[in-house]
Chains A and B, each alone.
Chain A
């Protein structure tokens, strides 16, 4: 296969030139970071007072990690490097508590992000002339809008349908002869399972490719999807703190995700010691964004576990590749592509007076889709003896959780003392989904 590049020079830069480019861009990011209240103090502590204090790319390792907790404590503008009037877009993702993570983009930041997404899409072989149905959620989540603008930049025909409503998705795929999807693997499986009941079959579809992401999945899941639909499925990785999609994407060889190293410094660390590990060794991914000047992000601990592939890719790109995401170093749950922290659920449940102190988070699968059940105990002293109180309580918990975690859980009410008592919050989570 001959490789065709979106940006030939950048994608095939020698490692030496790539590192020089990284160094130059890191200095620019340091200059921006110094303008933020958070990094100003943090960089000064390690003796970095100007971009010139960065002598080599290895100097990035002098800078302490940035964590989700740092983002929470500096919410909402502690990492903002420009005047708010220069920000043209805000995205957000779940925080570990009620305080979300916020991400800001200037006009230039959006443009460079869009270029990366376009480059990623192009690497899979998708082109102008493809019909792209984007089934990821639009809105604050970066997955929807990120791919949307990247696909438009290539000149693909974009159907911005967002998630859910399977029958409508199928009808759109049929009517417009959709060739490329952006979707979570579980939803793509679900569509196949329910296709017949909606009166469709795969011969109604013109699919060629699917970009799958936002949730962990196995190679077997990919192969199954490829076989069920007769398509190529490409793995992708991104998180909103680092601008979401377009961070790492598989090329047409589907042999691991290229991390665009002109735009990100990729490190893998031992999550216990914080020390960098060699390529090929599993560890926590740490990323520095080199192109987002409005909202710098340096050495962000993703909590995602993976390893860097050591062999070179047949496509000729010099940017290193990342394995699939193998797990998390924290207790974050991914439910149908939505990130949920148990602490977010606890915060909501514990502020409802009719609920006792014990609760349980139960996750299973119904068909291909994940299902979240939150089990709570009734607080006896608040019980009025009426069914309507219990019905209202269930509804209230479900609505407040939906407002916080954006998904609608099932609520189960239990008698006081009926749920198992645990010391730590992690054990309150019972996840019976098959593991990878």
Chain B
């Protein structure tokens, strides 16, 4: 599975900048990011080209951060495709904790990153179903080097 870095930050001006600054200094490329807002704090979620390295660097700077598995699904950039994906999840009774999407190649390919709540059995069934429906679950390198 793909790796995502989750970083705890306070909700005040300059916090995101300090993170992007650290990553920039260390020549780490950000593929995608989102922020889960919780009022006075939030979580920055990042997909980067060198997740292990980025995690170490950020932790070294004293930030509370963690590497998390994320389900990154490649979706053809056409009407109706996200719906096909969410239908599978819903039929499998899988709850989505957080999600975000980004377009990798305009008109051709998008990616949906999903944090889901599920157990191992249901997860492997879900993987099978996704494959049957023609969705590709992206591995680390596929995602970072695209």
Contact = CB atoms under 8 A, between A and B. Distances in A.
A binds B: yes
A390 B8 contact: yes
Interface stretch (B23-31, B34-42, B79-87, B124-132): B34-42
Given A386-B6, A390-B8, A418-B10, A413 B40 contact: yes
Interface in B30-81: 36, 38, 40-41, 43, 59, 62-68
A379 B8 CA distance: 11
16 contacts: A379-B64, A380-B63, A380-B64, A383-B64, A383-B65, A386-B66, A387-B36, A387-B43, A390-B41, A412-B41, A413-B8, A413-B10, A414-B10, A415-B8, A415-B62, A415-B64
B104 interface: no
Interface in A405-420: 412-418
Contacts of A415: 8-10, 15, 62-64
Given A386-B6, A390-B8, A416 B38 contact: no
A385 B6 CA distance: 5
Interface of A: 378-380, 383-388, 390-391, 412-418
Nearest to B7: A385
Contacts of B36: 387
B102 to A, nearest CB: 20
Contact of B63 (A387, A390, A412, A416): A416
B46 to A, nearest CB: 11
Interface of B: 5-6, 8-10, 15, 36, 38, 40-41, 43, 59, 62-68, 97-98
Chain B: interface secondary structure?
A: strand
Contacts of A385: 5-6, 43, 65-68
Among A387, A390, A418, chain B packs the most CB atoms within 10 A around the CB of A387
A390 B15 CA distance: 18
A12 B137 CA distance: 91
B66 A383 contact: yes
Contacts of A413: 8, 10, 40-41
A413 B67 CA distance: 20
- Which of A380, A388, A391 has the most chain B CB within a 10 Å cutoff? A380
A378 B65 CA distance: 10
A52 B22 CA distance: 78
A101 B40 CA distance: 36
Contacts of B62: 380, 415-417
A413 B59 CA distance: 18
B38 A390 contact: yes
Nearest to A377: B64
A385 B68 CA distance: 7
Given A378-B64, A380-B65, A416-B62, 13 more contacts: A383-B64, A383-B65, A385-B5, A385-B6, A385-B43, A385-B65, A387-B38, A387-B43, A390-B8, A390-B38, A390-B43, A413-B8, A415-B63
A356 to B, nearest CB: 9
Nearest to B59: A380
Contact of A378 (B5, B8, B38, B97): B8
A21 to B, nearest CB: 59
A391 B8 CA distance: 12
B15 to A, nearest CB: 8
Lowest 5 A-B CB distances belong to which pairs?
Answer: A385-B66, A385-B6, A383-B64, A380-B64, A378-B64
Contacts of A387: 36, 38, 43, 97-98
